[in-house]
Structure 1
Amino acid sequence: MTRSLVGMLLAATVATGVIAVTPTAASASELGQSAARPHLLDYKIYFGKCEDTCRIKVRIKSVTRLKLYDVSLNARLWVNGKKVGSCYDYVGSIRPKGVRWAGCTVRSSKLSTMWNRYNDGEIDFNTETKTNVHYEWYS
């Protein structure tokens, strides 16, 4: 990419006190990509005991100098490639460069059924989770 294209791509606009990094219309069409939000968080996922109920803990770290508001966590649990449940947790606000923990528990009949089939020796029990952390920030 050329230097001017990178400059257009990272043009910061301020509208009603909210900072948003968006590419211009020309640069988005040249790249063939849609606009993406800046990543202000870094997080790591931990599993607790996972049998007929599964505990998911997430360490959320702010990597910006802005205070983040209304942070929430959505987690979906998959066992052997099949979705067995989801959960939600409201975290609150995170101070600049701060760390907060979020956690939720998945309880569902699908998870219980998969655990019973694992105990009977019919299937493996390979857990995987997909998370989405939502936040807002102001300048």
Structure 2
Amino acid sequence: MIKSLAGTVLVAAAATSLVAAPANASTAASTSVAATASKAAITARPQLIRTNASFGRCRNTCRVEVRIRNVSRKNLFDVKLNVRLTVNGRRAGTCYDYVGGIRARKVRHASCTVRTSTLNRLYNRYLDGYTGFRYRANTSVAYRYYR
């Protein structure tokens, strides 16, 4: 049996299903919401990976390097990396990379480069002295494994 996990998506789905029912809903509706929430809680299993992001050169293009460590005893395959870059709290761009498979208890490195006009504009404003240049990357790793 093949399972697929993307931790942030499953956890967000569980949170929205709990909020969906109004306060004056009937007991049947609240029971179905509780059943959906418990079903979502079952699918939001512990993550099998740990990530550590670092930056290469980050000016008008940013290179984001991520170390992905498989902490489980299961072989992962179809591993994908998504990176969302923000500068001064504003979205500056995204990039993705296909990592492939990660054997049990092993490490793979992935990297991608963000090149957008928004990032270029934010860096030019920094060079002109109008703003700072505080960058941050949010990473999301999706993977599949055999159970």
User: CA offsets, 1:110-130, max 9 Å, x none?
Assistant: 000000000011000000111
Post-superposition shift, 1:19?
5.9
TM (norm. structure 2) is 0.73
TM (norm. structure 1) is 0.77
CA 1:87–1:19 in 2, change beyond 3 Å: closer, same or farther?
closer
Identity in percent:
47
In 1, the alpha carbon distance for the partners of 2:122 and 2:81 equals: 24
Q: Secondary structure at the match of 2:46?
A: coil
How many equivalent pairs are there? 116
In 1, the alpha carbon distance for the partners of 2:101 and 2:111 equals: 15
Contact preservation (8 Å) 2:3, 2:144: no
In 2, the alpha carbon distance for the partners of 1:45 and 1:56 equals: 7
**Equivalent in the alignment of 1:75:** 83
Pick aligned residue for 2:72 from 64, 73, 76: 64
Q: Which runs of 4+ in 1 moved over 6 A?
A: none
User: CA offsets, 1:17-56, max 9 Å, x none?
Assistant: 2468xxxxx9x939x6642132000010001110000000
Say which structure is richer in strand: 1
RMSD, aligned α-carbons: 1.9
| Structure having greater relative contact order (Cα 8 Å, sep ≥ 6) | 2
